[in-house]
Structure formats: structure tokens, C-alpha cells
Amino acid sequence: MRSSPDIISPEVATTLARLLEERVRRSPANIAYRYYNKVTGKWQNLTWKETEQRVSLWRAALSQENLTTGDRIGVMLPNGPDWVCLDFAAQSLGLIIVPLYVNDRPENVAYILEDTGAKVFVLPGKNYWEQLRQTIRKIDCLTRIITSDECRTIEDDSRITCLSDWLPEAPAPDPQLNISPDDIATIVYTSGTTGPPKGVMLSHRNMISNAAAGLQCIDIFPEDLFLSFLPLSHMLERTAGYYLPVMAGATVAFARSIPELAEDLVHIRPTVMVAVPRIFERIHSGLRQKIDKASPFAQKLFAAAVDIGWSHFEYRQKRAPWKIPLILKPLLDKTIAGKVRARLGGRLRIIISGGAPLSPEIARVFIGLGLPIYQGYGLTETSPVVSVNIIENNNPAGVGLPLPGIEVKIGKHDELLVRGSCIMLGYWNRPEATAETIDSDGWLHTGDRATLVDGHIRITGRLKEIIVLSNGEKVSPNDVEQAISMDPLFEQSMVIGEGKPYLVLVAVLARDRWEMLAEELGLSPAPQSLQDQRVQQAILARVEKLMHSMPGYAFIKRAVLTLDPWTVEGGLLTPTMKIRRKNVIDHLKEEIDKLYRD
């Protein structure tokens, strides 16, 4: 039996430190966090009271570093209790957290630390230090570097200390500083797909009000169990997967890693999950591979489960009438859909998808299989959630209604404008960029093109990413790339063609699928075969089918193909796995130029 919600209001939790304090007061013995202890090889629990005790140790350690209110702390840790305790300890001292991705490139890490003038930097252990050593040693503003494991062998920088040596035995009480809700709590750097990243300044009020507004849209109970696997340096995870559960008194389990996510889902059996479309694309690709190898009867059964499940969803949403085939749903649910849900733990009642557009086709498959996906929309600059679909009004064609207290409107060139308490304070040391983004009336210009349909927001593309062909026709690359992503042959893809007579597909092929295609064509699976004209013809034929519903001028005439994945380390992806379009074009410039010359 589910208990009543236990929501902490923003009026009570005016700052993040007060949020934890109030949660501990209300639920000291409840489980706050669950994590995997690598030493014991077992999952462990932390109560809210135990979390507070750990926070006090981090606070005592930070208090010894000669820091003053407003100083910046760089944190590059995996999701877990250490990230949480450092964050809450820093917030109670009026310090500013600067989150960094553990998979980010050394030069980006150095840029962010120098740009913010960070004094303390917390990172994992020896392996990370080896990668960062040359860039970090040159940063003079850092006075302390703390490594959380394998650190006793690192002795080449006097600023370095091991976490186990740095944390004291005696805790430090909360100093009860007069921290304002409008003080900067964090500086979060944007992905920087088109240039150097900018530091987004967010206040306590920004994030607390955003989490509170989210809880007015979707009910979360103390019995709920979140599974956290998106990096806490990603604002969607930080607000919706970290602060929001504290506000609601729910438990958060930290996944061990993305490769172990499938096992953790089955073991943890979460009820709530926050994810990005890439996760669903990978699961969908795995499902398609299994279905494609199954018997024709099994394929028809799977298709029927999705179709009837989707019809049932539309009926429940009051967008379609009841149909006779719906009487088959219980049977198909037991034989097909239920087994898919079991692979995700079998208890999920809320799955929030954000950070990038979710393909409507993929959403249809998962919702048809009974997985409750609610797509939302937001930006780092909006703390981050602007809108989300809700249980009684879930339309995957869009990103939902604006959260309570958030205003939206459509501006020039169909740009979505947003206003509300979630809007950032500005960009760190970038007043000109701030003025360009937030106008004199307080409207934040998102850079996203959108329409409003019955109050629902539908994102139609990025203002700066629209491709204008040489004939003047405009193409949204996002629409084309979403269509192409439905074929599991394409691991990663983007389309180009600015100022050109036609589009070119640039794609990374999935190796297993490529090997199957090469065998069908009677070719060697070696990378050299990608240049064969028969491969071009086969690829373009598949793409044409995927783009059948698009305008005739949006056709792809040639393709640049590779088997080498685009990675963060290679500079072709941002830490949030978004494609750095310009970098990819520069990386493959010779092949692209040759195609257009020919």
C-alpha cells in the first residue's frame, strides 16, 4: 500500500542545504541512497541521517581549505554518495559546485577549471590523474586536488591528497550561514557543440523551484525507487534524479555503470527512471536485432503486441475509441510485453525522457509494450525542465505542457521563448552572451524552433541547424536523422548539405549489421568495402525507405560511411553524447569534399 506524498515545499527548503536538513528531520531512518560497494562486493544502503553525518565530514574537510563564500569547487566524480555529500557540504558553506563529466577531454576540464577559478578539484583516482596530469598541473588557481581512490601512489604534486586522508574523523556542524535563495549554487557548462562551452549560473531558487514544479506534474512517493545512471553533471539528472527525490523523500540507487545497467535494472527493480533517448535507441536496436532473427510468426506476434498496446494507450488517453482487438491485450502482455518490461525490472511506473528528442517511432514501440515514457524538454539554462508530458495527458508527438509557473511563447522565426523562476542568473563572466539570450523582459531565447498545439510544446528544430540547400529549400537535419536512426544498421548519423544541391549522409555503421549487409552483397566486411558502389546503392535504398514521408527535395544522394564510432575522447561527441557537427565535418572533410566534387 502506497503512503501519502511527503513533499518539502520551496517555502520550507529555501536553499539546498535547508532541503537536506528538512528531509533528515522528517525521515531520518528512511533509506536515502543505495550504492554498490566495490570493496565488499555488495549493495549498501544509507539512511537520511547517515547521509547527513557523511555530509558533516565533507563540510569539516572543506572548512580546512581556507575557502570563502562563493569559491568554486570542481567535482568530477561518478554518481554516488561522495558526489551527493560533497554537493550538500559545499552548499551549506556557500560554495559553488562546478560539475565536470568523468569522460570529458582533458583540455575541456582544464578550460572549465581555469574559467571558474576553481580552488578545489575532486576526481576519481590514478587512471584519471594520468589522463589529466599535463593540463591540470598548469592550473595555478587550484590549491587542493582530492582523489577518491588509488591515490597513494600519486606523489608528483603537493596539492594532491587522498580522500581517506583528507576527510577528518570529527564532523563539522552546519554553520547556518545566511545563504540567499538567489545566491549562485552551481556553474554548469553547456556542451559546446558549436564553440567553447559557457558556464550557466544557477541559483538555489532556480533548481528548487524547478524540482517543485516537476512534482506538481508527476506524483512521487517515499516508496519510490529511482535508478540513477545519467551523470549528475547533467542537469536533467541533477534536478529530476537527485534534488527532486530528496524533496519527495524517495530512494535513489546509483547504477554501477552503463555496461552493467541491464543487470542493475533487474536487480534494483526501480519504479522511476530518468533517461535520454540514446538509452532507448540502444534498447530498441537490441530488440530489433532479436526480432529480425526470430521466426515470421514471432515477428508478427511482437508487432501485434506493440500495435494493440499502442491502441490501448490511445484509448486510455481518450484519443481513440475502444476496438475489438484490444481483448487480446492481456494475452499479448503476458507473452510478449511483460517479458520486455521484466528486463527493465518489471516495476517501472514513470520513465522521464529528456535531453534530446525521442523518435516518435521508438516512443510508440516502448509505450505499446507498456513502458510509461513521458517525454519532456528543457535546457541547462532553465534548470533544466521547461515542460513534460503527464500521465493523464501524454502525447509523445510533443514534449508536454509547461511546468506550473513557467511561461512560454513563440517569438520571431518560430523560436520558443521561456520565462519563470527556473531561468538562469546568466553566463559566468559572459555578460554579452547573457544579454543575447535573456531579453529585457526576462524571456530566455532557447534557440529552438517550436509550435504550440493545445498548449503542448512541439520542438521542430534548432534555429542554427536548419540546412538551406542551394535551391533555397530548408531541411531540418533532426527530422532526417531521427528517421535514419530507426534502422539499427546506423549506429550514429548526421546529414549535411548547407548551400549544396543535395544532402549527404555521414554515418557510423554498427559492425554486426555491416557484416550481415556485406555478406548479402557478396563483399568482404573489411572497411575498404564501404567504398564499393554496391554498398552506396544498398545504403541509399534503405535511407530512401526511411525517408518516404519527407518532402521530395530532402533526398540523400551520397553517403560517407565509417565503422569507427564517434567518441568524446576523439572530440566528435560532447560529454552528453551529442554530435559535434563541425568537428565531424572537419574530421571527414576530405571524403565529404570528394563526394560533392564528383
SS (H, E, C) 237-304: HHHHHHHHHHHHCCEEEECCCCCCHHHHHHHHCCCEEEECHHHHHHHHHHHHHHHHHCCHHHHHHHHH
Share of the chain above pLDDT 90, in %: 74
**Do the Cβ atoms of 178 and 200 come closer than 8 Å?**
no
pLDDT of residue 123: 93
Averaged pLDDT, 283-308: 92
List the domains of the chain with CATH numbers: 211-409+447-462 (3.40.50.12780), 466-597 (3.30.300.30)
Q: Which of 107-111, 349-353, 400-404 has the weakest average pLDDT? A: 107-111
pLDDT of residue 156: 67
**Do the Cβ atoms of 55 and 172 come closer than 8 Å?**
no
Q: Give the whole-angstrom CA distance, residue 398 versus residue 453.
A: 9
Indicate the average pLDDT of the chain: 92
pLDDT of residue 120: 97
**Does pLDDT of 18 surpass 80?**
yes
pLDDT of residue 2: 72
**Tens digit of pLDDT for each residue in 385-394?**
999 999 999 9
pTM listed for this prediction: 0.87
**Does pLDDT of 172 surpass 90?**
no
Q: Which of 166-180, 441-455, 522-536 has the weakest average pLDDT? A: 166-180
Averaged pLDDT, 264-276: 96
Q: Confidence band (pLDDT; 50, 70, 90) for 119?
A: very high
**Does pLDDT of 412 surpass 90?**
yes
Averaged pLDDT, 358-372: 93
Name the region of 567 (left: φ>0; alpha: ψ -120 to 50; beta: rest): beta
Q: Which of 61-70, 130-139, 403-412 has the weakest average pLDDT? A: 130-139
**Tens digit of pLDDT for each residue in 554-570?**
789 999 999 999 988 88
Backbone dihedral angles phi then psi of residue 302, each to the nearest 5 degrees: -65, -45
**Does pLDDT of 89 surpass 80?**
yes
pLDDT of residue 597: 80
pLDDT of residue 1: 60
pLDDT of residue 455: 93
Measure the CA angle with vertex 44, ends 102 and 214; round to 5°: 65
